[in-house]
Every structure is written in C-alpha cells, then in structure tokens.
Structure 1
C-alpha cells in the first residue's frame, strides 16, 4: 500500500526527534570530555608539584614518567572532542534538512534558494508560469546547496529537453526516490558550507595550483625536507647528551629554517590562502561523493554521471588531510615550532604538489557532479513528498491529456483539479469566464505541469500524456520606465517573440491570457482575432483566455480548428460561488456588474 502524505509528515517528525536526541547525547559527551581535559590539566599540575618536591631518586624518575601520561591522554581527548564537534555539526545540518522538509509540507516555506537570480521577463515562459523567484516552482523543488546544483536545476526548468532525455531522467529520478532515506545524509554533508569556497578550490585545482607549486619541484629541496625531521631529532638528542656545541648547531638550524620560511613565505601564502580552513568542507564533500560511489545505480542517466576513471572520494580526503596539516600554521606557536624544526609549510606544499601530480584528474568533475545529483534529489524528494503526483507519459505523437491536473503551488486543501485534452489535431482553445473564475490559474496549471513533465519530474495530476512542445506564454505584460516601453509596446514585443518562435519551432504550444490590454476594445478584438487566425493557419496549438465573447463566436467560422471552454459562477443569496471547474462552450455568466455594485457603482 502506497505511503500517504500524512505518514510522510509523521516520518519527518520522528526523524527530527531522533536527531535532536542524538545532538543532546553528543553535547553531553563533549561536556564530559571538557571535564576530563580540566582533570588532566590539574593532574599535570599535581605531578609537577610532586616533581619539584621529590628527591633525586627512582621516585623522581617515576614521577617524570607520570608527567607524560596526562599529556598523551590529553592529546587523545582533544582529537576525540574534535571528532565529536564535527559529528554534532553534521547532526545540526541533518536536523535542518528534516525540519526543512517538515516546513515545506506544512507551511510551504523552503529554506533553500528560491532562484530569484534566474528570473527573466524575456524568457518564453518562466516569468508567466512562476518558475523562479519567491513562491515559485524552483522554490518548491530546490534542495541544492551548491552553485552547480542550483544552475542545473534552473537549466532543466527553462529549456526544452529531448524526449529520450526526459525518459532517462524519469528513470533516474524514480531510482533516487527509492533511495530517498539515504539522500538526507548526502544533503546534510553539503549544506551549511561556503559555496564560494568550493568554487575557489575547483578553480585553484584546475588553473593555478600546478604553477603556484613550481618552486617545490627542485630535487634538493625535496631531499632536504624529507631528511629534516631526522636532522632536527638527532641534533636535539646530541645536544641533550653530548653538550653545548650541538645546542649551538640546533639554534643555527632554527635560524636557517626561519630564513627559508621568510624567503618562501609569499609563495607559500599564495598556495595556503586558496585552501586554508577548507579541510572540513572537503571532508563533507568527500562523504557526499562517497555516497554516490557506494550506490548500485541502474539508470543510464546516473551511470553517465559516474563514468569516471576511478573513485575520487579518497583522493579528496587525502587533499583534506594535507590541508588540515597545513592549517597548523594558523596557530602562531605551533606553526612557529613546526616550521622551525621541520619546515612544516614547505613540507605541506611538497605533499600538495605530490597529491596534485598523482590524484585523479576526475576530482573536479566529481565535485561538479555533486550538483547534478542535488538536482535529481530535488525532483526525487518532491516526488516522495507528493505520492499523489504521477510521472507523465511522453509520446512521439501530437497529444496533451491530463486527468485531475492541479497547480503544484496551490495548497492541496485549496486546489481544484481539472481534466483537459487537446484534439487529435492542433486547435486554438478559447477560454472565457468571469473575473476570478479561474481562467489564468488554469493556463498556469497546464503550463507549469508541462514544465515539470519536460524536466523528467512527476506532475501534479492523476495522469498526464503529452508530446514535447516548446512552451511560449503571454500573461504578465508590463511597461518599463527604464526602457521607455509602454504596455502596448511590451505586448507587441511579446507577440513578435511568439510569432518568431512559431516559425523556428513547429512544435510550439502557446498560452495567452487576455491579449492587447494596452489598447482600445475595438483594436483589441481585431488584433486578437487576427492573431488567433494566424495561429490556426500555422497549425499552432494554443489556449487563449479572454473576457471577449466575440472571440468565442469565431468557432462558427473556424470549426473544428477552434474550441470553446469556460469557467462560470453561480449566485446563492446574492453571493458569488466559484467552482473553478473547466466546462465546454462559451461563458454566459459574468460578475463585473456585481463587483462594481459592491463598491458603489451601478450599471444600467
């Protein structure tokens, strides 16, 4: 039995409570470790006091050994606490992911980007169909944290995809939907990071790092850096057991190393500041990539994304370890000691250069593919959250049929679904009706579901079958003071764009809501009539919403190429009632006179 929406919401609530419990438990562990660190510090002081007050005998030697034990335990505790800090950060991001899904299903608010940067009034349909921006389709779907993910999702919603690609994407989205439980962890690993930093790292790896590391290619430098830990260690031992001359040599070594660090400082900084502080980010991205590598993918579309020479999650973790060691220079005392003894910065640069030479050349591709997985997960999560939606049938024959189709952005308890189908040949369908009766919403309902269908996603309908059309709309036409464009001029520009699109693409589908509002009623009718007849002449299917009943009368002359539909109203005790149901034939009931009367204007 299919899972219901209420069960999905209950499932998210359970996940939220479980993660909240994990966070509380992890915080308790971190607090306990903090107490242990304090205890270790106090014990070290205690042993030091004992040492000061002990005689020079075997007991003193024993105390010296005891002094080392808290130090070793302290190092272990610090590492364990660091791991728990990372774990709690991951748990917080996972909690955010679950809470975000719960919010979307209850309040409609999505914490991911709404895609306002992709808004364009010149696009054939995205502005009219609410594809991008606040309260948009993008805002409903988006589960992308990376720039590539957002760009890919926007691209899939704004271009005409091929039928074979749509079918492949349907298969991929359904496969990801089956693995939906594991995708939340994937998303948690990617959320909460600086998206610009990973873009900088990709640019660095692709274009800059090799050149910046040229200074460590010299064989002599590599040999010395490899030997310097042994040289420093031997000098320290010799100084302790053999006398002051070796202390002087040791100090000289520190001075030489300091000079080397100063001379190479600018080059080292150039490398470091492209990567510094990004170890945790890379570890998280490596975990996300590891998820993609560990799944047994069957769909052809996803298999193409993973067509890499070798798994690269381990390569990214190796890079992360190098950067983590490099970050030691951020602590002036630790960095100073390490550079003085071991030329630490230079050592890290050599490790980075070796990684760059030996690592998989697919690292950048793998990082980019994370965004493409995010985009698929966006659709799969929406499909999971809406079990009543269905994957449409894509056909190679002229067709557009929908059963119980509704607007995906309207809450389920307020949405009214309709049935609709085009004829076997292209027609212009005139939709008339009163103000607020549902004409515009129906046009947007049909258009936005077509966009979903062409992206490979499920649609807000019980069933849908359609051919791959190029969608062109004419709905929200506005003037522009900045461009000195009147409403009428803007409408003409839009009409020109539609006509040009019809010429270049025979598979165009046109959605028009009240054409030529910026001119007088006579020219409006004549212009609309000519445009409708032009579409019929060119065999271009269209839905045309209008208040002008004269356009509905064109059916007498142009049957069967023109059909009439309408949305009507009913009156009960003087109140208007809308059922928002699409019906055949032209509208006969209008409400303008009633609405005017309600504000004090009566029509004779």
Structure 2
C-alpha cells in the first residue's frame, strides 16, 4: 500500500503545472519561517519560566535560612565603619545578603549606602515605609523586576561609561561639512547603483567614492572607536534598563511617589528605546560582512555616530533621570520582597520624643524564627542599660539585635 501511495504521489506531481511547484516552494518557506518565529517565542517563554522558577526556589531557600544564593556585599565591608562591621551588615550571612535583591550595580550600591548611612528624617522614613508596603503587595511586579534584571548582563562600568559619553564633544553634529558629506555620499552611491543598470563605464566613479569613504573613515577612526567604546559595549545594560523601565511604566500605583516614579519611567523608556535601537544598529558594525560593506558605500559608522550625537543632545537629562529612577526602584524592590517574604514583621513607628527605643519580642532577623525575642526599651525613662551574664549566653547577639533593629 505504501508503494502504491508513493507511485500515486509521483504521478500527481508530474501532471501538475510548473507554477504549482514555485508556489509550493514559497508556501513551504513561509511556513518554515513561521515555525521558526513560533519556536523562538516558545523558547523565550520557556527560558523565562525556568528563570522564574529558579528565582522563586532561591526565595524559598532564603525563607528557610539559606541566603547563599544572593550577593553578600563583600565589596562594601569596611572595618573602619562605626558599626557595619561589628553588626555584620555586609558579608556572608549578613543583613545585606538577607535583604538585597538588587538587579543593577547602582541599585546594590545605593542599598549599601542606606545601610551605612540610614535616614534620620521622620517624614522621609514614613514615606519609604509606605512605598515599601505598597510595593510588597505587587508580587508579580517584584518577580518581573527580578526576572528582567537577571536576564541581562551588566558590566561594572557600563552605566558610568554611558554617562561619561555625555561629556564628549560632538565630532559630526558640530561640523557642517561632515554632515553634508554624510548626506551626499549615500545619495551619490545610490545614484551610481541605479545608473549602472542603464549604462556602463561607471567603475572609476565607484572607485573614487570607495577610496574617499575609507580615507574619511580612517581620519575619524579614533572618534568612531571612542563612541563604540562608550555605547556599543553597554548594549546589554541598555537592554536591561529598557526592560526594567518597561515594567515600571506599565504598572498602576496608588502612592503619589510611585505614580511620579512611573511617569518618569515612561518618559525614560521612550528615550532609552531609541538609544537601544541606535546602539544595536551601531553594534552591527562588528559583523564581518555588514560593517565593511555598509561603510564602503554609505559611511555606516559615521551615520551611526551622527544619530547617536543627535540623540545625546536631545536626551541628556532624560537618560540620567531614567537611570536614577531604576536605581531608586531597585532599592525599593529589595525591601518590598523582604517585606512580602515576612508579612509577620512590623514597620516600626517613628517617635517624636527624641532618641529612644521601645521594642516587644525583638529578635535578630538572621536567627531562626523559633528564636526567643526580648523586650527592650531605652531613652524614655531609662538612660542606661546594664547587660550581664555568663559567657556564651547571648549578650553579643542581643547587642547586635538592638543595633540591627
């Protein structure tokens, strides 16, 4: 039966018109491309789901006391700091490792700064508590921020290098002659290409254009490489900030501060999307075929540099604000995730009666949940607290508990 089916297929194929095979080929290619596109989307969803599962698994381990999957903050250890070294604020099994879920380098640094220099203004503290409490009610957003941040690499100097790029002098935008040349060369090249279909003997003109282009590119090679160093090398970081701004801008918040942050994120998102497209376009110059070919006929590198300079002029302040917005929300995300993981923990009430502490069942956050808490008060009536006890009975732990809380 199988042989009869094959024979029938060949007989039918021979009897079909030739155009049928052409359209069949086109249809098969289109179907193949559609399958490739679908496979790409499914693969992306699968990778995201695996990353989400990994991050959730880390949180479950952390709730069980294992924080080793998170950054320890070793870089911020300072033995000369008044209290951070004694209170184990940074390092393995530290407060920073327990709280930090930073997905940007600047966000981790800003969180570390808050641990080293806590806020003392009561109104600022209350505002931050309110913002953290609201964010802790958006677990999907918190997970999305973590996933987007973990999906892209960030070099240690990418952001600072990008900001340094804003300090450079424009090499093309400030030169009227260069702008004219960049406009005319592609036009002349296209005219020659079209004319070559109508007449012969244009090879000398092509040669002149090609030689001129490469001489000009050679003269400006230093500035082109400089722009590539500052922008193209930070493409992954630009992608990361675009993704994070996208998550922030599309979420609806209630707190006025978060609403303002979301509006800033939307403005920054539009600007950084343009930068991402330009950065990826400029990065394509490293392609062994595309770069040389496009430079030979269209001065591709200089075209990209000009567009980047124009973008820089129009979005200097916008980008700085966007980067700052991501850093601020990165810090809040860490605190909000910690609050979400520990709903039984309270937000302390700020006293207006001077320097005083009053706590009930206070315990160290790094100790297991079954640890016995202690009541403690000082500053209202008691000005001195005398702590005594035998060795290994928890005096140092109690002092650290007071200090950390």
- Provide TM-score, normalisation by structure 1: 0.57
8 Å Cα contact 2:136/2:336 also seen in 1: yes
8 Å Cα contact 1:177/1:381 also seen in 2: yes
Q: Distance in 2 between matches of 1:240 and 1:64?
A: 27
Aligned length: 386
Assess, with a 3 A threshold, how the Cα gap between structure 1 residues 375 and 295 changes in structure 2: closer, same or farther.
same
Quick one: higher RCO (CA 8 Å, sep 6+), 1 or 2? 2
**Per-residue CA distance 1:235-274 (angstroms, 9 max, x = gap):** 223213322x123322332232222222222221111122
**Per-residue CA distance 1:356-387 (angstroms, 9 max, x = gap):** 12225121122123122111111110111012
Q: Distance in 2 between matches of 1:118 and 1:309?
A: 29
Secondary structure at the aligned position of 1:199 is classed as: helix
Q: Distance in 2 between matches of 1:343 and 1:69?
A: 38
Q: Distance in 1 between matches of 2:267 and 2:79?
A: 42
Assess, with a 3 A threshold, how the Cα gap between structure 1 residues 371 and 195 changes in structure 2: closer, same or farther.
farther
8 Å Cα contact 1:200/1:274 also seen in 2: no
Q: Distance in 1 between matches of 2:58 and 2:367?
A: 19
Partner of 1:194: 154
Matches within 5 A, 1:591-602: none
Q: Distance in 2 between matches of 1:170 and 1:357?
A: 38
* Aligned: 1:236 with 2:193: yes
1:118 positional shift:
2.2
Assess, with a 3 A threshold, how the Cα gap between structure 1 residues 422 and 301 changes in structure 2: closer, same or farther.
same
8 Å Cα contact 2:103/2:149 also seen in 1: yes
* Aligned: 1:440 with 2:396: yes
- Provide TM-score, normalisation by structure 2: 0.83
Picking from 209, 213, 221, the partner of 2:178 is 221
Partner of 1:322: 278
Picking from 227, 247, 250, the partner of 1:271 is 227
Gaps of 5+ in 2: 1-16
1:165 positional shift:
1.2
Assess, with a 3 A threshold, how the Cα gap between structure 1 residues 91 and 361 changes in structure 2: closer, same or farther.
farther
1:62 positional shift:
11
Q: Which has a greater percent of helix?
A: 2
Secondary structure at the aligned position of 2:202 is classed as: helix
Assess, with a 3 A threshold, how the Cα gap between structure 1 residues 65 and 309 changes in structure 2: closer, same or farther.
closer
8 Å Cα contact 2:172/2:306 also seen in 1: no
Picking from 138, 142, 146, the partner of 1:179 is 138
Bigger Rg over Cα: 1
Q: Distance in 2 between matches of 1:348 and 1:74?
A: 33
8 Å Cα contact 1:235/1:250 also seen in 2: yes
8 Å Cα contact 1:172/1:302 also seen in 2: yes
Partner of 2:8: none
Q: Distance in 2 between matches of 1:82 and 1:207?
A: 39
Partner of 2:4: none
Gaps of 5+ in 1: 1-58, 450-604
1:74 positional shift:
8.8
Larger deviation, residues 300-309 vs 267-276? 300-309
**Per-residue CA distance 1:342-367 (angstroms, 9 max, x = gap):** 11111101111111122251211221
Q: Which has a greater percent of strand?
A: 1
Partner of 1:518: none
1:116 positional shift:
2.0
Matches within 5 A, 1:308-387: 308=264, 311-359=267-315, 361-387=317-343
Partner of 1:166: 125
**Per-residue CA distance 1:261-305 (angstroms, 9 max, x = gap):** 222222211111222243343122112112223333343554565
1:199 positional shift:
2.1
Assess, with a 3 A threshold, how the Cα gap between structure 1 residues 407 and 417 changes in structure 2: closer, same or farther.
same
1:233 positional shift:
2.7
Q: Distance in 2 between matches of 1:307 and 1:110?
A: 36
